[in-house]
Structure 1
Amino acid sequence: MRKFWILLTVISFFAHSQPVKIAKLKYDGGGDWYANKTALPNLIEFCNEQINTNLAISEDVVDVGSPDLFLYPYVYMTGHGNVVLNNVQVENLRNYLTSGGFLHIDDNYGLDQFIRIEMKKVFPELEFVEIPFDHPIYHQKFDFDKGLPKIHQHDGKPPKGFGLIYEKRLVCFYTFESDLGNGWEDQSVYNDPQEIRIEALKMGANIISYAFTSAL
């Protein structure tokens, strides 16, 4: 039944019968899950204009343990600090992801050490693997032959796209040392060059496109 609702939302998305909502994930532990406040609205606007999506103009907020999680084919998670998932939240997130849902974790600098531990609770049998550059997520409308764009320097490491693959489907895409969400923010927030912001938005559009098509 839960998978049915996700598929119904995806079908609505492609039929353009009504706007489809995406959501930001609220989690416990004290980390700033609410970071990048202007990011998703800007990504939504870009997707509606550039890849002909029918996304509602503002995102929802959904708790990781809520049954409402299943209303959203794409859920965005970000932050800088601690993440703690209890048993109920772990079970709910696993059920969501194995039923057709898609989680995009975007490290906003400082999330890595926490999220790896918590996602191991969700999928103890899986490891994050680096997603190869020829994967479809890098080649939707926009081609990223070298993988993720580098938006903010942070530690100066190359950007990496990691994933959890369940039954041959990429259910969680983890963008590390890239900081796509900062690139989606209003230019007044970080004053990044426009060409950098556009690269971030293009990659975000690819992720949105992949999330919806992979659920079918």
Structure 2
Amino acid sequence: MNRLKSIAPVAIIAAALGYALLANAQGFRRGFRIEQNDPPATELVVARWHFGTNGLIGHMGWSHNYPSSDQNLNQFIKDATGIDIEVASFRIVELGSPEVFDYPFAYVSEPGEMELTEQEVINLREFVNRGGFVLMDDFDGIVQLETMRSQVARAFPDRPFMQLLNDHRVLHSHFDLDDLSRMSPYVPGGRIVYYGIMNDRGDLAIAAGHNNDLANFWDWYDEPQMPLEPAADAFRLGVNFAVWAFTH
């Protein structure tokens, strides 16, 4: 990983503030129509999965914080690492389509609303078996946790989720993150806990953050109600997942 370079996260966020203000002026923030993005041909393009839902969050949970959280995270990845990625390196991908296999790093918003079709279950299993990585974000409480578990179990009935402890390599793949508690006061639910499922090689293939909402931090870090240090942790964690997906 000698192509990756470390930069102070708070400094990166401060530098990215200018981009966020520009995006706001151009109308890319909240309150817009959901539109597909045509990403550049970079090494890493993050796929935001559109999946079947049970409607408990209005069938729209998959799109929460899109596209500004996607743009801000990509800017941070670009500035903090040597990965070839641009602000626009993201795309909405239908989980039930063959396109899902074109993008090895997938982001899932509100998995507590998942009600996957049979084809989506097949694609999820095949995506992981081919070496893809999935980050599940923005779900809290027992009901949403059990919904997420039950839907993923349809693809992996023999692979239960395990808790990711502070010494897991993904939490240290680029930045060292020993404590995620600074984000807890700014998200619903209780203690932030990450769960994971491994692939056949024993590498982490699905990471699910219960009682956390990384996309809110990525989206709103430039707003007064979002303190900078918890947002910096959220960006650090996002970079760690991106580096993990890019190297495993």
Tell me, yes or no, whether TM beats 0.5: yes
**Distance in 1, Cα, partners of 2:48 & 2:103:** 10
The alignment of Structure 1 onto Structure 2 pairs a total of residues equal to 198
Pairing 1:36–2:62 present: no
Match of residue 47 from structure 2: 23
Gaps of 5+ in 1: 1-12
Say yes or no: does 1:200 pair with 2:200. no
What corresponds to 2:179 in structure 1?
146
**Higher CA-based Rg:** 2
Q: Over the residues paired in the alignment, what is the CA RMSD in angstroms?
A: 2.2
Residue matched to 1:8: none
Q: Distance in 1 between matches of 2:243 and 2:224?
A: 26
Shift of 1:175: 0.8
Normalised by the length of structure 2, the TM-score is 0.73
* CA distance in structure 2 between the aligned counterparts of 1:64 and 1:36, rounded to whole angstroms: 19
For residue 173 of structure 2, what is the amino acid of its counterpart? Q
TM superposition shift of 1:140: 1.8
The correspondence for 1:53, drawn from 43, 61, 83, is: 83
Identity of aligned residues (%): 26
Which stretch of the first structure deviates more once superposed, 27-36 or 66-75?
27-36
The answer on whether the counterparts of 1:42 and 1:186 sit within 8 Å (CA) in structure 2 is: no
User: Tell me, what secondary structure is at the counterpart of 1:28?
Assistant: coil
Amino acid in the other structure paired with 1:74? F
Q: Distance between the aligned counterparts of 2:195 and 2:137, measured in 1?
A: 10
Residue 99 of structure 1, aligned match among 115, 127, 130? 130
Unmatched tracts of structure 2, length 5 or more:
5-40
Deviates more, 1:104-113 or 1:86-95: 104-113
**Counterpart AA for 1:55:** I
Q: TM-score, normalised by structure 1?
A: 0.84
Amino acid at match of 2:178: D
